[in-house]
A and B are shown apart, each in its own frame.
Chain A
Amino acid sequence: MSDSNADTQKGSSDFEKRIFQRKGFTFFGLGLQDVIRYFFGGNASLAIIILILICFFLAKEAAMFFPDHHRGLKAYRSAGQEFVDYIGQEIEQHTRIYSSANIAYFAEVNRTSLEEDAILRAQRAVLANVESLTARSWKELERGLDNLEDAQEDLDDLKESEGALDASALSKLTKDIAQLEAKIVTVRAKLKKEVTVVLGSEKAWDLGGGGIGISSGARAKVLDAVLFEAFPDSKEDHPFIVETKAASRAKKGLEAEKLAGFKDTLKALQSAVRPMKDLHSDLKKIALESRKEINSLETAPARRDAWLAGAESTDDPAEKARMLARAGEVVIAAPDLSALNAPIYSSVDEHRTLLATLQAEVERLHKDLPDGAETESGRKNLKKADHYYGEFVTTVRENRDKIQGWRHDKSLGLMASVGAFLMGKDWVTNSSWHDFYGLLPLFTGSFLISIIALVVAVPFAVSAAVYVNQLANRREQTFIKPAIEFIGAIPSVVLGFFGILVFGETLRMVSQLEYLQWIPGFPMAERLTILNAGLLLAFMAVPTIFTLTEDALNNVPRALAENSLAMGATKLQTVFRVIVPTAISGIIAAVLLGFGRIIGETMVVLLVAGNKIKIPDFTEGLGVIAQPAHTMTGIIAQELGEVDNGSLHWRALFMVGVILFVISLGVNFTAQQILKKLQKI
């Protein structure tokens, strides 16, 4: 084309001819600019393609979950397990009431003898400590005593033996015995010295965490008692201990007398449940058999094919015949479910009468529950018992129709499977009974941990950002900002490690402090708890929230601050009335992105949250934070490695992943919307 141009435009110079031509390097007719452009464009589309593939893969695996899950639920119903679990539920509710009331009872009975019990516990603990600290010498003493016994037996044998007395052997033995006796005396003396020394050290008095301290007077007596029990190796208790035991017993007796009626009710309740438990375990065995037959039907064709294939491939006629016979044995016919469930149907009436007795006892206990209690634990557990009573009543009421109208062949919609997943209260896997895949325990764990993390991280990160951006001087800025951003560089596994080894124990110790008892959940019994995980996650979320909040504050036009100051506002008024409100949507977006970071975090929660798959006990109120929990991310990380590809369990984990994905997506989307709004201002 340029040639023809050249022909027609003879007059123009070479330069003019080329002025509009593409210059420089070309590649398949593309200029350098185009190549770079397509390279970058290609990378961007690759990211999008991968994202689409991930979504597709997740959706495919997860979609397969519900049909499989539905089949499992159907088997659960057909085998009568569903029915058995109704009864199990009632028993469990009963047990909760009983044990709360029981704990309350003992808390009350023991309340006046706390001091004596502490002394007795201390004496046992100190004795054990002393014995373990001087174990070597005790062994030596024992060995000496054994040897002495052996020697004496030898001597007796020698004396009783017939024939002439071997004078030299006799004198040697006597000498040995004398030596051994002398040795024992020295070992005893040494031991006594050692024990006295050990008793003077703090190590011997380490009574373990959470023990009630004892007075210094009692301490001296305990010391006496320990020495007394150690020397001589007395089988009897020191008089002080005998006295203390008696006092404790007497005081307990006095309290128990006051609550005797209550105790009787408790006992009656305990025996009322026994026949119900028997019925439950009988039915459980039957249901389990039925379930096995149902499961076996599912695998039957595969098993038969395996035998047939084996017979096909072997050359040995005997072996072949055996395998064919086994193949013939495989039952493929569906089990007669009506027959299998007959015992269950016939137990309905028995259950009704048993339940009536149980209900009557529960009612009686509820009426007999003392109005108040003297101890904190007593009050708390009475309240719990009352709460569980309410749950028991509801459960019984709800179960009545379910049990009466229960049919093993009642149809089960696909939505039931969705409901059982989203609303299921149990996540039980590898169980010999039935695997439950309920999201709630994991969801509540994730939720509680995230809430704690947010409640702690947001004020901390936002105020740090406001300070650094608005109030700090240059020097502080250059120091604080990188320091906080550095937190983000700490690998989460390292934080988890720290949480297990240092933070958890520190937190537990701190929770014992007298003046911190107003914090819900304190004192804490465990190291790995929702609180621990939440606090560590808060720490992890701080850099995200801090940086984004700082950006949002930076985006506020400087002129606004100047305007405010020119109006006579102070620096603080300017910050809180103008700058922060202007940046508020950016701050909200920062918080949401921080939340996304928290809910998706895996390593820390896996290591620190305690991994207990159970909906936390909300009767504790805000104290739930002192309990362990499991999370959606944690369960995937923990269980995905040990399940078979394509199994129901595997799919269930995928489904949990999808839920996480949806939550994160929602949070990110909301954050984006808010940011978009912010840019419009």
Chain B
Amino acid sequence: MKTTMSKNRITNTDIPEENRVISSHAGGNTAETIIGIDDVNFAYNKGTDVLKDVSLDINRGEVTAFIGPSGCGKSTLLRCLNRMNDLILTASITKGSINILGTDIYDPKVDPIELRKHVGMVFQKYNPFPKSIYENVAFGLRIQGIKKASILDEVVERSLTYAGLWDEVKDRLHSSGLGLSGGQQQRLCIARTIAVEPKIILMDEPCSALDPLSTAIIEDLITRLKNEFTIVIVTHNMQQATRVSDRTAYFYLGELIEVGPTTTIFNNPTEKRTEDYISGRFG
């Protein structure tokens, strides 16, 4: 499988430049757009664009998966959506705009702190704070100045229940979050994120450090979450993409090659490069 994959990669790079296609906003159904990415270029350092002419709409209440070979810019685009890239001083969007809930998030009037309260993020490497389980989940509320114990208690319980962790930890809420297993820690991070009730949750390879069982639990969690949140997930696991996502976007070398309903992308891609990549996986 590995060899097929690397062969495929080589094939991919051989694809002539002129075959590039800017994705039609496939899927074009009745769904409401919550994130509109419009012709975005992004550079970590001036002059070298890591994202090129990316245009993409993400619908409310759906799970959208970003796939593509390593280094193609999936994480970069994801981090543009909650302006985490602001932390890198030299990085900036050099062209285009990103609208979330109808607001251009790169408008000078937008406060990234406020934005991030509505656009939560779950990272590949789970990283609970070295605090108790309770304090981890309550963190988001505490920084918003909420001190009332009754509110905190309620939110902590609700978020942990939602993340499917409540039964496992309810007896040790006040012991360290670092004492949990990897899968539990990742779910704790998800609980922490949903505690502040964001509109959108960005997940960057949330299962790549977990065993199959924990992965299954989290995938199940994601399908449950999409009733209330819009989710964007980056994954290298093709099966995972087919299992959890409604729509899939395929990136290659900083460009969006194709986007559409997941079933279409996996069964009947328009682009040869998409097909090569996917079939490489399925080998």
Contact = CB atoms under 8 A, between A and B. Distances in A.
Instruction: Among A559, A568, A578, find the residue whose CB has the most chain B CB atoms closer than 10 A.
Output: A568
Given A559-B123, A560-B127, A582-B129, A567 B143 contact: yes
Contact of A567 (B87, B131, B178, B193): B193
A568 B129 contact: no
A44 B131 CA distance: 40
Contacts of B84: 562, 565-566
A559 B114 contact: no
B189 interface: yes
Contact of A568 (B143, B178, B189): B143
A570 B121 contact: no
Interface string A551-562: 000000101101
Given A569-B143, A573-B143, A564 B113 contact: no
Contacts of B130: 560, 581-582, 681
Contacts of B131: 581
B142 A568 contact: no
Interface string A241-262: 0000000000000000000000
A172 interface: no
Contacts of A570: 113, 143
Nearest to B79: A566
Contact of A566 (B116, B125, B129, B144): B116
A569 B139 CA distance: 9
Interface string B110-135: 00011111001101010101110000
B111 to A, nearest CB: 10
Contacts, number: 60
Contact of A563 (B87, B123, B142, B144): B123
A143 interface: no
B222 interface: no
B192 interface: yes
Contacts of B116: 565-568
A578 B129 CA distance: 7
Given A562-B87, A582-B130, A568 B123 contact: no
How big is the B interface, by class?
20 to 34
B82 interface: yes
A566 B121 CA distance: 6
A28 B283 CA distance: 61
Contact of B82 (A563, A564, A566, A573): A566
B280 interface: no
Nearest to A573: B143
A568 B127 contact: no
Interface in A220-269: none
Contact of A559 (B125, B140, B144, B196): B125
Contacts of A562: 84, 87, 123, 127
B87 A565 contact: yes
B125 A568 contact: no
Contact of B127 (A557, A569, A577, A681): A557
Contacts of A564: 129, 139
A120 B120 CA distance: 79
Contacts of B113: 568-570
Contact of B120 (A559, A560, A566, A582): A566
Given A560-B129, A582-B129, A567 B123 contact: no
Nearest to B116: A568
Nearest to A681: B130
Nearest to A559: B127
Nearest to A473: B89
A575 B74 CA distance: 29
Interface in B144-199: 144, 178, 189, 192-193, 196
B143 A577 contact: yes
B142 A567 contact: no
B140 A567 contact: yes
A560 B117 CA distance: 17
A209 B260 CA distance: 87
Instruction: Among B113, B144, B192, B193, find the residue whose CB has the most chain A CB atoms closer than 10 A.
Output: B113
A563 B143 contact: no
Nearest to B139: A567
Interface in B70-119: 82, 84, 87, 113-117
A553 to B, nearest CB: 14
Given A564-B129, A577-B142, 15 more contacts: A559-B123, A559-B127, A563-B123, A564-B139, A565-B116, A566-B82, A567-B117, A567-B143, A567-B196, A568-B113, A568-B116, A568-B117, A568-B143, A681-B130, A681-B178
30 contacts: A560-B130, A562-B87, A562-B123, A562-B127, A563-B129, A563-B189, A564-B139, A565-B87, A565-B116, A566-B116, A566-B120, A566-B121, A566-B123, A567-B117, A567-B139, A567-B143, A567-B192, A567-B193, A568-B116, A568-B117, A568-B140, A568-B144, A569-B113, A569-B139, A569-B143, A570-B113, A577-B142, A581-B131, A582-B129, A582-B130
Q: Which 6 A-B pairs have the closest CB atoms?
A: A568-B117, A566-B121, A568-B116, A559-B127, A569-B143, A573-B143
